[in-house]
A = this chain, B = another copy of it.
Amino acid sequence: MFFSRRIEHCQVCGTRVEYRIPADDNRERAVCPACQHIHYVNPLNVVGTLPIWEDKVLLCKRNIEPRKGLWTLPAGFMELGETTEEGAVRETDEEAGARIQVLGLYSVLNVVTAGQVHFFYRAKLLDTDFNPGPETMEARLFTQAEIPWDELAFRTVRMTLQNYFDDRREGQFGIHCADIR
């Protein structure tokens, strides 16, 4: 996870930028008065998994801000050079040290105020030998009854878990799309 700082200088030539609406545009952008470079800032994708072992779900206790000490599904920012699914598998390895088989895209959740789109893939754990990375205090399996609902890090994690337990009861897993503001 990382936070973004307001653009003050041109990333191409270093000149202090101006905020204005460029020609043929309808939004304010950071524009360089020297080289005319326009800096666009767009939403980011967060990619992760819902790793399942028998009747249990794998959660990670966050060792970094934001929400340090709270529980999350393994997830993080999508990187260049990978697909959403590859990013989700990479984050599951980095945060939980867990080996999975991906079963399919499970939720696509717009988090508008954060400028993020969260993707979660349903996955089958191949073993229970976890090896959490530095961003995770603890990786642990939870039954539905054991889920720490009041100590979840993100609303998209809560929503994805709720959908999963509902779908499991019904015996059918679709793709869930929702918006959080």
Contacts and interface: CB of A to CB of B under 8 A. Distances in A.
Contacts of A45: 42-43, 45, 117
A144 interface: no
Number of this chain's copies in the assembly equals: 2
Interface stretch (A5-13, A145-153, A154-162): A5-13
Contacts of A38: 2
Contact of A42 (B37, B80, B104, B105): B80
A83 B179 contact: yes
B9 A10 contact: yes
Contact of A5 (B2, B11, B14, B15): B11
Interface residues of A, number: 44
A173 to B, nearest CB: 12
A81 interface: yes
A9 B95 CA distance: 31
Interface string A1-28: 0101101111111111000000010010
A126 interface: no
Contacts of A134: 24
Given A112-B81, A175-B175, A11 B39 contact: yes
A108 B177 CA distance: 12
